[in-house]
A and B are shown apart, each in its own frame.
Chain A
């Protein structure tokens, strides 16, 4: 989806604020939210692609106004609801009960829940799939298709319709566009280098930008153009 998360090349956000000696988590709840996300992936409730897409689906104003782990919390909460693990009424009731002291977070630790989450996480992050014959090879000139899928994609807007050169064939991996929507399609992935000027025009600063792109994002660079050169 062409959402607010797709930020590459946008103007107007102002200066980058660097916090000196920043802690890993600013407040305890940020760490809890991290654990809620890890538990969701480790227990197979959702994939990392579904998680990213849940954050992308936040209303753009919420996305920009929220702190980083507020976005994570919203994404995680949304997915626990959509997957039928929790529902908003139960969560609201528990929030009130914890607040009033009528409930407490259980510290029971039966079984090896941590071990199960860790094992599930390895599976969740394993995106390698059986090799398929790649359509492109290192050195090939490609063009990024002008796709605007309604769902999740890892093809940023700034690369669409741009031409670049395949530098590395990475192998065959699960496609995020599919995995965010319950399918496990796999395709070859390519590292593609784009000249900065191809992406940003004649005022570009030079150098290049590299992206890892799935085969469905790509087509051969315009063959008629190549033939027209003497």
Chain B
């Protein structure tokens, strides 16, 4: 099963190889150039972390929604944003003063693309995938400049099924007066992966 006669040769120019395959699939009516453009545009223009940020901001301002979000995942998300809820399920895991959550896919590159768009290259790299699951605290300190307090437990979510994980960060202190839109602007992609920790109440400046 690992030995096949037609193992493709590694192309010198992946662009030319991809173009040739595309061209043949179009002739077989399995693809059109228009479909390629629409698929690319979906990921470049429509999906992205702004979607997840709006969900987080709603959870920060509406306790009833937050409860539904933590229980219901993609169904609750679909209340706030337009997501392909028939394609993917998302489980939202909540950061608290005692717990920090971190998302990884050690086996490939699974990521909550419906709410965050496609993952950055580092998320898909052997460097991140190997370390995140074993030494998350050291990795966050050394690589992402995040010192997670020793009293805070780190829970790692290895996304090895079709269920995808997203972190609900803590609401930063001093944001009581902000609108939901302004709150969404504070939510970063990295905070929803868990390589950034928002809202450490212990660092409130008075």
Q: B-contacting residues of A (Cβ < 8 Å)?
A: 1, 5-11, 13-19, 22, 24-25, 27-29, 31-36, 38-39, 43, 45, 48, 52, 55, 57, 62, 64, 66, 68-70, 73-74, 76-78, 80-82, 85-88, 90-92, 94-95, 98-99, 103-111, 113-114, 117, 121-122, 125-127, 150-151, 154-156, 158, 170, 173, 181, 189, 193, 199-200, 204-213
Contact = CB atoms under 8 A, between A and B. Distances in A.
Contact of B86 (A82, A99, A122): A122
Interface in B134-162: 134-139, 142-144, 153-158, 160-162
B134 A107 contact: no
Given A32-B36, A122-B87, A24 B117 contact: yes
B21 A80 contact: yes
15 contacts: A7-B106, A8-B133, A15-B143, A25-B40, A35-B36, A35-B40, A36-B18, A74-B10, A86-B21, A91-B21, A103-B23, A111-B29, A126-B86, A207-B136, A212-B161
Given A16-B128, A52-B108, 18 more contacts: A5-B107, A9-B106, A35-B40, A66-B10, A68-B109, A73-B11, A77-B8, A81-B4, A87-B6, A90-B24, A91-B17, A92-B20, A106-B33, A113-B35, A117-B31, A117-B39, A207-B153, A212-B160
A107 B87 contact: no
B199 to A, nearest CB: 19
Interface stretch (B51-59, B118-126, B178-186): B118-126
B33 A109 contact: yes
The 6 closest A-B pairs by CB, nearest first: A8-B106, A31-B40, A29-B15, A212-B161, A95-B20, A207-B154
Interface string B1-33: 110101111110011111111111111111111
B158 A24 contact: no
Interface of B: 1-2, 4, 6-11, 14-36, 38-40, 43-44, 86-88, 104, 106-109, 117-118, 120-122, 124-131, 133-139, 142-144, 153-158, 160-163
A18 B107 contact: no
A91 B2 contact: no
A113 B31 contact: yes
A41 B126 CA distance: 25
Given A14-B127, A122-B87, A211-B160, A113 B32 contact: yes
